[in-house]
Structure 1
């Protein structure tokens, strides 16, 4: 089931988004802290309804993404693929010292266990880029049943998975090939890229080398461990030979790849590697190998960085008990999120211990006059 929350929405009832037909819920029943704000008309033109308002946390509120808000006219997005270990989890906004944390919408999408095999209890994937190569449109739900947002590729325009819209520029574009025929994927396909995304592709502009750049200009410490998924399908019905090319990440690794001439069938190449500290090296090339009759071709590409969520959570029985206490006494203090973790943001009234590798337990409550005023 999709969970879609409009953060800061002042209405009392849910509404349907006209573009996706998804139902957005007000956030009031999910959170007790923060304050709502409506944005001025100058900043919401051409933005979806859920971007017209936000919830901010002026009093302050584990870190897996630092959002750098530079342009007030732009919509910024952070996306993570993670495995839920229980029927609840918490999203925390942490003030870094530069401005007040805020959020406009929170959207949760279920995905099948059979896709993105790299994700597990301790490894989550933070999206860097997700490109539909050769397309000039953005596709998401219902074209993609998982509501992944496929952006026009970043070659020849300024596009990013972290931005809402795409800006063209004058850089020369490589050749584009396209079809209106259905591109098929197997029932057990580990990525299930929609046909509409695979129906366009880029080929090398000089028929030799295609360079794909996913650097954002910002250094990351420590350097990311990248998970890259390249998606291929032959769109040329008359292709009688395989495309043989070298997938190369400068200074890291080279992968020879033979793309068969099987028409309209999806194929994928997963790559994982530890990136260099220098962000100028965050790109790869597809180069035609000697003897290949056809140039490199690519239909879609996803780039993620590994996020290690190894910290264990509070035992769900204790979480339910603490939530029941705060609800019973209508407590709206800074007791939000997981009671015990992260340790530096744990609830001020609890003492927690970890007796196993699976969860923390709340072992005691701090009795004080403050608590007596709240609970007494």
Structure 2
């Protein structure tokens, strides 16, 4: 019985890891807030996007209010993952990276009054334990994009949303792109 339980556990961990793998180009492209275990290919960019359930274990999925849906806007902004119950710190873990390599990390946000409160939040964004930037949402329809170039010390990196007491943290999308080591020599 223990052997079967161990095999089942290893299989489940393997499935979780497989969902969280970079694609053949080394890209990780996450559409935050879409239904678990779903994927799609963007018609314009041909980039494959995955649900975020393999990258974080907190938060809840929400759709933006219908009045903020714009056909010219990427579908990635039609939904969010919000973190109402997770305490101050909620993280995404991006795995299967190459330690010592450089990556571009991009986080995207559009509030779209997903919670029906019309309260524009301000919250912190961290890479691991290091402060990255403050996300200050000033309009329900404007998209906010934050980018950083990092050298990862291990085979994973965490992107964390920090509740600062000024509204609930949320995220629309998260991307990771490998960079050639010759680029950005100061990093």
Same fold? TM cut 0.5: yes
Distance 2:164 2:128 in 1: 16
Q: Distance in 1 between matches of 2:78 and 2:171?
A: 11
Give 1:78's aligned residue.
Answer: 24
CA distance in 2, matches of 1:180, 1:258: 19
Unaligned runs of 5+ in 1: 1-69, 80-125, 160-170, 187-192, 311-376
CA contact (8 A) 1:203 1:298 kept: yes
Paired residue secondary structure (2:33): coil
What is the CA-CA distance between 1:259 and the residue it aligns to?
1.6
Provide Cα deviations, 1:155-194, integer angstroms capped at 9, x if missing partner.
Answer: 3xx37xxxxxxxxxxx8541111136354599xxxxxx71
- Separation (CA, whole Å) in 1 of partners of 2:61 and 2:95: 23
Query: Which of 86, 89, 102 is residue 209 of structure 1 equivalent to?
Result: 89
Pairwise CA distance, 1:78? 0.9
Partner residue in 2 for 1:121: none
Secondary structure (helix, strand or coil) at the match of 2:76 reads helix
**RCO higher in 1 or 2 (8 Å CA, sep ≥ 6)?**
2
Give the TM-score of the pair, scaled to structure 1: 0.37
Task: Count residues in correspondence.
Answer: 160
Distance 1:133 1:149 in 2: 13
Comparing both structures, which one devotes a greater share of its residues to helix?
Answer: 2
Going from structure 1 to structure 2, the CA distance change for 1:264 and 1:139 (only over 3 Å counts) comes to farther
**Once the two structures are superposed, what CA deviation does each residue of 1:96-148 show, in whole Å capped at 9, x if it has no partner?**
xxxxxxxxxxxxxxxxxxxxxxxxxxxxxx41x10011112322243xx1111
Q: Under a length normalisation based on structure 2, what TM-score does the superposition of the two structures give?
A: 0.70
The verdict on how the C-alpha distance between 1:242 and 1:141 changes in structure 2, with shifts beyond 3 A counting, is closer
Which residue number corresponds to residue 288 of structure 1?
163
Between Structure 1 and Structure 2, whose CA radius of gyration is higher? 1
- 1:242 deviation in Å? 2.4
After superposition, residues 138-177 of structure 1 pair within 5 angstroms as 138-142=39-43, 145-153=44-52, 155=53, 158=54, 173-177=58-62
Aligned match of 1:297 = 170
Relative to total residues, which structure has the larger strand share, 1 or 2? 2
Query: What is the rounded CA distance, in whole Å, between the counterparts of 1:288 and 1:209 in structure 2?
Result: 6
